[in-house]
Chains A and B, each alone.
Chain A
């Protein structure tokens, strides 16, 4: 388990400086910090809309991050495929892994099972977050490919 403050310090160290998203309970502490501290976090209405904001910010020279529940990946597929992957816009996507097991609520089962396959099939690289080193890996991938990259968070991986 990684401390949320240390995680955000790591993102800052890596140059990330524009934050958007739609909440997930797995990111409760993360979003509270983003809202309360000087991150100018933008609360978007949908995940695809957050990707749109990140796209504009990236064109204007920012290094954007979006936070979302994996259910929102469903809302994001068209924008990833016809905007960010096509136009080569690097965005760090922090995605929670609801429905990793059937112990989670049933509305998360199908996406919990399919998320990594969906990312694989549209060509978004991903890393399962376990330590701050994974931020380094994701950032390197982002910079090398110039495309969106996902960091996936299981329940309890941030405190």
Chain B
């Protein structure tokens, strides 16, 4: 599975009224490429913070929050797993697209191949954790409607494609998300 396929599959299975928070780098670019929407919060910097931002929303909104994270990102802020596992927001789905590399900076290796990230999340208190190695497993995890916090680790191939940068300004992303959530 490629990152593009994983992101497209995830977005195609949403109902439409969710909030989607995407990690910096190619994950935000891929999300943007599936079609821009006011429900998307593209995090272009602040590496590691996507689940923290998502949990801050999930605790204060009835909407379902879907976080599109990466392995490098989640490894940078593993403390967030502890906080989220403790607070247990039910409307929170944390999807880690794991390609084993820091793709945006030149595909340097991450340590994710030696870490069972889904088990880290389970130990931290996530209610359901899944490792999806095929598109069918990803789909099955997404349509199961588990009560959150859910953690889905999606194994994808390394290798980026040409995909444009996010074209919405940070201030615009903020303003439209506030409006969307109000």
Contact = CB atoms under 8 A, between A and B. Distances in A.
Report if A and B associate in a common complex: yes
Interface of A: 18, 42-46, 48-49, 51-62, 64, 78-79, 81-83, 86-89
A81 B47 CA distance: 12
Q: Which one of A45, A60, A62 has the highest number of Cβ atoms from chain B below 10 Å of its Cβ?
A: A60
B171 A48 contact: no
Contact of B58 (A45, A48, A56, A79): A56
B26 interface: no
A49 B77 contact: yes
B87 A42 contact: yes
A58 B177 CA distance: 10
A88 B174 contact: yes
B52 A52 contact: yes
Contacts of B83: 42-45, 49, 53
Contact of A57 (B59, B82, B182): B59
Contact of A79 (B41, B49, B59, B178): B49
Interface residues of B, number: 34
19 contacts: A45-B83, A48-B48, A48-B77, A49-B52, A49-B83, A51-B49, A52-B52, A53-B56, A53-B59, A55-B56, A56-B54, A56-B57, A58-B56, A59-B53, A82-B45, A86-B44, A86-B170, A87-B174, A88-B174
A18 B60 contact: yes
Nearest to A53: B56
Given A45-B83, A49-B80, A53-B83, 16 more contacts: A42-B87, A44-B52, A48-B49, A49-B83, A52-B46, A53-B52, A56-B21, A57-B56, A58-B56, A59-B56, A59-B181, A60-B59, A60-B61, A81-B45, A82-B45, A88-B171
Question: Nearest 3 pairs between A and B by C-beta?
Answer: A56-B56, A82-B45, A52-B52
Q: Name the residue among A44, A48, A89 with the largest chain B CB count within 10 angstroms.
A: A48
A62 B21 CA distance: 18
Interface in B47-78: 47-49, 51-61, 77
Contacts of A48: 46, 48-49, 77
Contacts of A46: 77, 79
A54 B77 contact: no
Given A59-B181, A61-B182, A86 B45 contact: yes
Contacts of A18: 56, 60
A83 B79 contact: no
A87 B46 CA distance: 11
A117 to B, nearest CB: 22
